[in-house]
Amino acid sequence: MRNIILIKLFLLIFFGIKTAALAQNVSVELGPNDIGSNEQFTITLKIENDRLRRYGDFPEIPGLEKAGTSSSSSTNIVNGQISSSYSVIQSYLPAREGTFKLAPFTMAVNDTEVNSPGTTITVGPPKQRSAQNPFFSDPFDDLFGRRNQPQEFVDVKAEAFLALTTSKDTVYLGEGFTTTLAFYLSDRNQAPLQFYDIGKQLTDILKELRPSSVWEENFNIENINGQPVTINGEGYTQYKIYQAAYYPNNTEPIRFPSVPLTMIKYKVAKNPSFFGRRRQEDFKTFRTDPHTVYVKELPPHPLKASVAVGNYRLDESISQQELSTGNSFNYTFKILGEGNINYIEKPNVRTTDTFDFYDPSVQQNINRRNSQVAGSKAFSYYAVPNEPGEYNLGNYFNWVFFNPSTRQYDTLTSDIQVLVEGKSRKNEYISSQDVGTFYNKISGVDNTLQSRNNDGWLQLAANILIIGMLALTAVVVFRK
């Protein structure tokens, strides 16, 4: 065996130049599209005459769940020509019987892209496994007299567990904490395990798991990939199934119940033969332990019912700091940090005649990564100065929040100083008001002074007329 390996290495080195001349060939191969509900559909990504350095995500197939990947490689030497190939196989498990559409898709491979026209997959009833072909029987079975003996399978203990963990066990009202549901597989594990119908199971799990009195920021895990971790000094592979940040809306304890996850667990052959079956499909259910997160009231404060909770800082900007009365400017009050970005309200703005501040436009950005939720919320104001002078915008803008790290309330205040030049707009403001039609007629009326002493005869005539009308009314009444 050692001599064969040396010969291959010598040929690889000797004919390396010829290998480089071979062109890279990338292809995508689809497995049989007529399968039973107990069979798998596969997509194979194959590259020839090059290493597979990186590749994109395999497509999602409605009605089928990703069940893991496997890889293989080979090197051939024919007439001094060296060719190599590398394959990655993505397996899919059907969730139910029916007909499912795999849409055309494109995958990035190394520095190129490969296309597939897609296909239609038909999933029927479970297919009966065919009996072993006698032409391909294990030749050692006859030698040891095992041909007619039934294969015996044994259950290997799984060194694995399912766990729900939280980043904090006690939080303030409105303070966020990250919840992670993950499957952990020990490096010492010898039992073959595989995810089963994970999409449907996760839907049922979240119905029990999600609290009703919280705001949720879901990290939206699309692909379940393993990540090495260390627990109590022992190596594990962590497979995150669900992760979200929760922000409690009241002070009731958040109780997470025990939830199950069923995995495909294979039994292995007790006396495996060269050509015979080596494992048997079985199922095992793992469960999480119940978990509780306790919520505390915020410390006393006049604004404690409305403040945001988190670790924030201010990033402000202004279009210009030397201003003129009557000329507008733009000011942005941007809040950045970790916390519930959706809950951030606009800053308190002092009402004054010195500036006219109009309602702001709002821009929000949220990032969910590394088990944290962070982002920013920017409030952009359009404003007009009315009075000349030097002003500190900190006297006009402030935003109060509670910082759980320091356990104190904090205030973000503007540090920008502005200089306003020009004339006061107070008189301009008064003159711009509409005083009504009465005052508009003043300019067209005679303003000559007249004496009111000559109006006595008019009052006498009016009194006589009123007495006459009363007498006439009395006569008419008495006649009737």
Same domain, 115 and 8: yes
Q: How many residues can be counted in the chain? A: 480
Please tell me whether residues 287 and 354 are part of one structural domain: no
Do 333 and 364 belong to one domain?
A: yes
Q: In terms of domains, do 186 and 262 share one? A: yes
Whether 163 and 288 have beta carbons less than 8 Å apart is answered as: yes
| pTM of the full structure | 0.58
3-state secondary structure 106-171: EEEECCEEEEECCEEEEEECCCCCCCCCHHHCCHHHHHHCCCCCCCCEECCCCCEEEEEEECCCEE
- 11 and 104 in a single domain? The answer is yes
List phi, psi (to 5°) of 343: -85, -10
DSSP-derived 3-state class of residue 44: strand
> Looking at residue 438, what is its pLDDT?
55
Residues 200 and 162 in one domain: yes
Segments of the chain scoring below 50 in pLDDT: 1-22, 77-80, 130-148, 274-276
| 58-111 pLDDT per residue, tens | 888 888 888 767 666 655 544 445 566 777 788 888 888 888 888 998 888 877
Distance CA 373, CA 339 (A): 6
d(CA 175, CA 406): 13
452 domain residue, yes or no: no
pLDDT of residue 7: 42
**Cβ neighbours for 463, distance < 8 A, ≥ 6 positions apart:** none
In degrees to the nearest 10, what's the CA dihedral of 193, 196, 198, 203? Answer: -130
* Residue 203 DSSP class: H
Structurally, the chain folds into a number of domains equal to 3
291 and 157 in a common domain: yes
Q: With beta carbons less than 8 A apart as the criterion, state whether 111 and 52 touch.
A: no
Query: Of the candidates 274, 296, 318, which is a domain's last residue?
Result: 296
Whether 317 and 415 map to the same domain: the answer is yes
Q: Are residues 43 and 76 in the same domain?
A: yes
Q: Which neighbouring-strand residues pair with 315?
A: 334
- CATH number at 418 reads 2.60.40
Q: Is residue 140 a part of any domain in this protein?
A: no
Predicted local confidence at residue 359, as pLDDT: 93
Last residue of a domain, one of 405, 428, 451: 428
**So what's the pLDDT on residue 368?**
87
Q: Is 109 exposed, middle or buried (0-12, 13-18, 19+ CB in 10 A)?
A: buried
Q: Assess whether 289 and 406 both reside in one domain.
A: no
Which segments of 96-160 does DSSP mark as H helices, in order?
139-144
Predicted pLDDT of residue 167: 95
The reply to whether 354 falls in a domain is yes
Q: Report the run of H or E that residue 9 belongs to, with start and end.
A: helix 2-14
Q: What is the extent of the structural domain holding 405? A: 308-428
On whether residue 469 sits in a domain, the answer given is: no
257 inside domain: yes
Tell whether 159 and 286 lie within a shared domain. Answer: yes
Statement to judge: residues 157 and 277 lie in one domain: yes
Assigned domain for 433 exists = no
CA neighbor of 196 nearest in space, from 265, 109, 121, 99: 265
Residue 111: inside a domain: yes
In a domain, 133, yes or no: no
Task: Using the 3D structure, point to which of 257, 274, 296 is the last residue of a domain.
Answer: 296
